[in-house]
Amino acid sequence: RENGNAPSQFVQNWFDKIIDESIMLDPAFTADRITNFMVSTLKSLSPGQAAICVTHDWNIFSIKQFTLGFSYEDTLDAGYLDAVAFFERDSRIFAVARQFDPVEIV
């Protein structure tokens, strides 16, 4: 956890939309864009296939905060090789991060 240091403050400023979009895209837009990409990729897969999207941890932070609705503290609680998994069950799309229950997103 990045308690009280500069990277944590930068992410908080990004989430609070203090940082100009010429430096970092709006975090909610970022989360929506990546989530939509993952959902469309998931829907294009054949049965038994899987897809992996490797991205920067800040993109994962935005998905945790704006797609999954995690608290800021839980959002930054990132482990090594942290991830958000997207999956389909009973024609419904979910996303899940470690230590939390899946969230239906579509």
pLDDT for res 2: 45
pLDDT score of 36 more than 80: yes
Instruction: Count structural domains, the chain.
Output: 1
Nearest to 4 by CA among 91, 61, 76: 76
- Confirm whether 42 is domain-assigned: yes
- Confirm whether 85 is domain-assigned: yes
**Residue whose entry in the numeric block shows the structure tokens 């991060």:** 97
- Confirm whether 20 is domain-assigned: yes
Can you give the residue range of the structural domain that contains 55? 6-104
pLDDT for res 6: 61
- Confirm whether 35 is domain-assigned: yes
- Confirm whether 27 is domain-assigned: yes
**What SS3 class is residue 38?**
helix
70 neighbors 100 (Cβ within 8 angstroms)? yes
| Mean pLDDT, range 63-80, rounded to an integer | 84
pLDDT confidence band for 75 (50 / 70 / 90):
confident
Tell me the pTM: 0.84
Q: Return the bridge partners of 95, or none.
A: 86, 103
- Confirm whether 1 is domain-assigned: no
